[in-house]
Structure 1
Amino acid sequence: DPLGLDMKYVTVRVDRGGCILGIVRFALPLSRVQPEIRSIYRIVLFGAVAAVIIALIVAYFVSRSITLPIRQMQETAQQIAKGDFGKRVRIKSRDELGELAKSFNTMADELQHQMENLRRMDRMRTDFVANVSHELKTPLTLIRGYIETLEDRAMDDKKAATKFISIIKEHADRLANIVNDLLSLSELELSDDSVHKTEFDLKEIIDEISLGFGHALADKKQMLTVSSQGGDLTIRADHDKIEQVFVNLIDNAVKYTKESGCIELSLVELDREVCVTVQDNGIGIPREHRERIFERFYRVDKARSRDLGGTGLGLSIAKHIVLAHNGKISIESEFNKGTKISVILPKE
């Protein structure tokens, strides 16, 4: 520009009838718009910087929202791997990570449940081996002692010898009972074909078993009653094993009911099942022992149970037989008042 100023020019040609009439030129000094331009540049620059900063912050939090739950799951998995099965991932979002955390916690719950079962089974196995050893060792020790006594001097005394031989036979029978019960349990636990079903009247079985306890009841002056409700008490089950269940239950009721006590057996026809209850007014079972009463060799009063001649396997065998028939067995008891055991068996 002749004036030495920075100018912004706009030129427009004026035409008419194909002839150029002239040119119109507009000029504007840039000094009037440069402050606005510089202001725009600053706004754009600051906006770009702010956008970058905001983008970085957003990227950080987005990244953190993704990596933090993953890191939490990784740390929780490591703690579970070290044996802390109570740890869980605390993520409450409803997105895919929330679903993943929920699945992870479900897996951890199942793993904890399985580990608790394994520990319980390991404790039961340890207790079982210890109990079997003790149950077999006690009569064997007594048998050996009586045999040694017979060898030393008692053979010359026929009366003493007869007494010792009778005691030896009693303990030998106890050993045989323990072994037979263990074989029955093993068969029930390991074999899928241990149940051979036939159709029979459950009331008739109960009546026959009750008659078999006549002498035991008379010795303790006890009274046993059998009642039934329903017209059809026929079931399809393994006759011998069902008989074994109620022999064990009635035998326990007789043993743990005091003299002149009462034992009541009740049969009730349900829709597609038959419920049998064995109720006594005996010594009962303390609350803390009820959950374990069906475990093998578990006794509430160990010394008393052995004195009464039990193997500690009767209730466990009964439970396994009932479960093998898809039935249910439960116990209700109050210490010093009595016990009620209910068995529900399907008709088919």
Structure 2
Amino acid sequence: MRFILLVFINAFAVGLSIACVNFYFQHSWQHFFITLVISFALSFLAFYYLFQRYIYNKIKLIYKLIHNLKLGKDLKEALGEKLSDDPINDVEQQVRDWAKEKKKEIDTLKEQERFRREFLANISHEFKTPLFAIQGYIDALQDGMMLEDPELGTQFLMKASQNLDRLTFLIKDLDEISKLESGQIPINYERFDLTTLVKEVLESMEDKAVAHDISLVFKEKYQHPMMVKADREKIRQVLVNLIDNSFKYGKAKGQTNVRIYELFETVLVEVTDDGIGIEEKNLPRVFERFYRTDKSRSRKIGGSGLGLSIVKHIIEAHQQTINVRSTEGLGTTFAFTLEKVKTAM
């Protein structure tokens, strides 16, 4: 025990010092050893009493309070419980653990504060841009634009309507994320053929792919059914968002590939483009709300900036995982898993 060892060392040091002084005057080894034993014994008893009364018991009480209050116990219970016989070592470990825990909490709070500031700045910009545009078009119409130039006035009305649609989509996406986070949107599990769903999504997005001059590829080998257990409509939304994202950041005359891999208990789905790619430093943040790796280009191609965040929330609500890998200038792959339906033997 550290406490006994500490008392022993201090008592031996005092006893040895007194014995040496006695030997200096008496020049007798017999007196030296007798003095050493007696002074050591008396010092040991004195130090033991003093350490026990004024140090050890105090530290033990502090340890009990730290340990028990950390567990959420009240003060009476904390004082009445018998704990470790080596509180000095335990206090040291408790303080180390406490310091590590607090450092993690501080780092988390700093990260949350950074995210909060960026989120507020981003959402302010996302709302401000269409609102100012709408305000400008309406002011022009109020100043008589419709009477002076009906054709231009009609164009202003159409642009104002488009900006209103953008605001509507933004609010809808924010509301959906909020409900996903709070669990207000239930996951309606059902068994369905993932291959069929992928084909449906690709067919529905064919016109948009043509408009972006991008080819959709889903290999012929995916002809057999791939049964999964998930919310079919939400997985459709995931596929639509990922494929739409590949259009925004793909290159002209490029390809978007959808692949399915059968694993042991899950099915892996990959959506790959051969576009501009993402810098490695930006990869950890691509699923954040409103985070855009290329802000100038993203503003031009539109979108609420919430698509990937919604995708992540949907997949995690299924208790599954999603990740991204990318090479700048070569393309990006988003991959997520779904629960596979086990076929009867």
TM-score higher than 0.5 here?
yes
Report if the CA contact (8 A) 1:267-1:277 is conserved: yes
Match of 1:195, SS state, is coil
Shift of 1:99: 3.8
Q: Which residue of 2 aligns with 1:182?
A: 174
Change (3 A) 1:223 1:57: same
Instruction: Extract unaligned runs of 5+ from structure 1.
Output: 1-39, 77-93
Change (3 A) 1:71 1:301: farther
Is 1:138 matched with 2:129?
yes
Shift of 1:61: 8.4
Q: Which residue of 2 aligns with 1:112?
A: 103
Shift of 1:130: 2.1
Change (3 A) 1:206 1:58: same
Q: Which residue of 1 aligns with 2:231?
A: 238
Report if the CA contact (8 A) 1:229-1:269 is conserved: no
Is 1:123 matched with 2:114?
yes
Shift of 1:320: 0.4
1:188-227 mapped onto 2 (5 Å cutoff) = 188-191=180-183, 193-227=185-219
CA distance in structure 1 between the aligned counterparts of 2:322 and 2:137, rounded to whole angstroms: 41
Change (3 A) 1:184 1:48: same
CA distance in structure 2 between the aligned counterparts of 1:56 and 1:120, rounded to whole angstroms: 53
Change (3 A) 1:191 1:49: closer
RMSD: 3.4
Is 1:48 matched with 2:48?
no
Q: Which residue of 2 aligns with 1:297?
A: 290
Shift of 1:241: 1.2
Match of 2:285, SS state, is coil
CA distance in structure 2 between the aligned counterparts of 1:268 and 1:49, rounded to whole angstroms: 80
Instruction: Extract unaligned runs of 5+ from structure 2.
Output: 1-29, 67-84
Shift of 1:229: 5.7
Of 190-199 and 298-307, more deviation after overlay is shown by 190-199
Q: Which residue of 2 aligns with 1:327?
A: 320
1:1-348 mapped onto 2 (5 Å cutoff) = 48-49=38-39, 51-53=41-43, 56=46, 95-156=86-147, 157-191=149-183, 193-227=185-219, 231-347=224-340
Change (3 A) 1:50 1:167: closer
Normalising by structure 2, we get a TM-score of 0.75
Judging by fraction of residues, say which structure has more strand: 1
Match of 1:267, SS state, is strand
Shift of 1:107: 3.5
Q: Which residue of 1 aligns with 2:70?
A: none
Letter of the 1:299 partner, please give it.
R
Shift of 1:113: 2.1
Match of 2:195, SS state, is helix
Report if the CA contact (8 A) 1:332-1:341 is conserved: yes
Shift of 1:230: 8.9
Of 64-73 and 303-312, more deviation after overlay is shown by 64-73
CA distance in structure 1 between the aligned counterparts of 2:327 and 2:120, rounded to whole angstroms: 30
Report if the CA contact (8 A) 2:60-2:87 is conserved: no
Change (3 A) 1:215 1:95: same
Change (3 A) 1:237 1:43: closer
Letter of the 1:343 partner, please give it.
F
Q: Deviations over 1:228-279 (max 9, x none)?
A: 5695521221122111111110001011111001111101121221110011
Number of residues paired by the alignment? 293
CA distance in structure 2 between the aligned counterparts of 1:229 and 1:100, rounded to whole angstroms: 61
Match of 1:291, SS state, is helix
Report if the CA contact (8 A) 2:145-2:152 is conserved: yes
CA distance in structure 1 between the aligned counterparts of 2:286 and 2:178, rounded to whole angstroms: 19
Q: Deviations over 1:144-197 (max 9, x none)?
A: 101111121320212101211111111111111101100110110012552122
CA distance in structure 2 between the aligned counterparts of 1:117 and 1:100, rounded to whole angstroms: 25
Change (3 A) 1:232 1:67: farther
Change (3 A) 1:145 1:338: same
